[in-house]
Structure 1
Amino acid sequence: MKKEDFYFDLPEELIAQDPLEDRSGSRLLVLNKETGEIAHHVFRDVIDYLNPGDCLVINDTKVIPARLIGSKVGTDAKIEILLLKRRENDVWETLVKPGKKAKPGTKIQFGEGLLTGEVIDVVEEGNRLIQFTYDGIFEEILDQLGQMPLPPYITHQLKDKNRYQTVYAKHSGSAAAPTAGLHFTPELLEEIQKKGVQIAHVTLHVGLGTFRPVKVENIMEHHMHSEFYQIEASEAEKINRAKEEGHRVICVGTTSCRTVESAAGDDGKLRECSGWTDIFIYPGYKFKILDCLITNFHLPESTLIMLVSALAGREHVLGAYEEAVKEKYRFFSFGDAMLIQ
């Protein structure tokens, strides 16, 4: 299977730069995964496609303001850091720009010394391990100094940081938002529950691997970055019960999908668990838990369009994308949504 099999032509003006004022007012393309049939709706209409007894799985990770702009101690050269993974004892794996200025031993200060970091090692793909020192609570300092790590195709910072968080974001740790969840409002979630749909929370801390392009021609040679996930017993039980009773499991976003598919046992059941996953889902994959998916429109040749193609078939997905381009849907993180059922 080749990377170019997942290419489609996307006009740049369809890349959404800002979120809509009303989260649930975005558009919703509904794709029938068996027939390829397409219907056009507004996102809040998603409730009409959910049935009592179904289980909606949401990823309650919270994006941290992981982008820090600092200066090299001694030369005052500007250095930008992106926090990727928290290790032990205030050590983080980071992406540093420019990397050549960040050899081991380099010290960087942020916010006039409120936070100081020292590069202690170089790890895979040139990422740096940085040991931070500070007085107080790290999360509070980060909140004060950090910026939201928006995807590379968003060209400006947000006025309101919270628009890059889902309304149910709870557990801090992501370098990117699980963007399919950005369409939900508290009111819509309440209506969904009133209809008799169970809502199960899982956590997967989204890494920047989400935006990492597939560079190999043969997609099976692509390696995913690992991301931390967690499922509590009560939430696993909700998902298992829906399956056992013949109802559907509808994942909100590719991250929720990858969490439940990573955690499923050989018996097709979920249990309380946590760990790291580098699962890569592409056509030919047999889903163990997921029945339907709510997702945004993804980049050409990305691992995400490969995942949705595994669910609905490449032809159906590319046909739906072609229709979305024709109908001028908004693409990527702040764009419109798609329900594959």
Structure 2
Amino acid sequence: MKKLLILLLAVGLLRSPGALAQVRVQNLRCENLADPIGLDVARPRFSWQLLAAKDRRGVRQTAYEVRVAASAAGLAQGGPATVWNSGKVASDSSVNVTYAGPALQLNRRYHWQVRAWDEAGKASAWSAPAFWQVGLLAPANWQASWIGPGYAEDSVRRPSPLLRKEFKISKKITSATAYVTAHGLYEAQINGRRVGDGYLTPGWTSYNKRLAYQAYDVTNLVKAGANAVGATLASGWYRGYIGFDRVHNIYGRDAALLFQLHLAYSDGTSEEVVSDGSWQTTSEGPIRFAELQRGETYDARLEKTGWAQPGYDA
């Protein structure tokens, strides 16, 4: 009989409970996003998936534990480094589990992990860490002001205005996050490098009710010393032509930019670079006409090389 048991175990026809492979926790999502930044949610929701060996059947979660820390290293340290720990919760839920810890801090990055228990009461290893970054939780957190071209625009052609500002960084940077939106469309640069990879941002919404904005991790775009930020605007859906009846200026007549750059320093302090009256503008850029349904006129002779870099003679 003993020889038969050994043979069955060898060929995989019989397994002891201890021989079952552990489940793994993977595909962590915060508000249905992977490692999002700029979340304006005071109590975000977590989701994850379980992964088991292909030959296991009936695998299910019977409990979970979520832990949150201010750094990836803090997750393993535990104790004072832990921002919140759910403890072991008897539940099969793995979708939209709500954060229930202390109030979150603006512009702060939080790291989190999950482990789960299967139907046999066996705990998985902790998942790989994931993170989310808190954004601007309320309108009052915006310090930036709406700025426009600052000159009388051509009401027919509407060349795309260029807006720029220089600023200096005198401390060691730990992170930099840009929050950007526009009345119309925008494309932003920092030190001559494009911010993000999206097009037609901030997208079409019912502008008289809501306006989307984007958050970007631009830590790798800023540097110690002199820096510059630039933005190009266009009419987009906000004031551009929509449909086939020559309808335009539906939501407004003036293109505008709202820009806020949060700089976090290694000494624990922070600074904001915002759109305000100190920015420089011009209508003499290369985009002479830009409409979603009527195309674009681009005059390469008017390119302003380096206009979004520090030291440019504006």
TM range, smaller chain: under 0.3
Structure with more relative contact order (C-alpha pairs < 8 Å, separation 6 or more):
1
Q: Specify the structure having the higher radius of gyration (Cα).
A: 2
Instruction: Report which of the two has the higher share of helix.
Output: 1
Structure number having the greater strand percentage:
2
Q: TM-score, normalised by structure 1?
A: 0.22
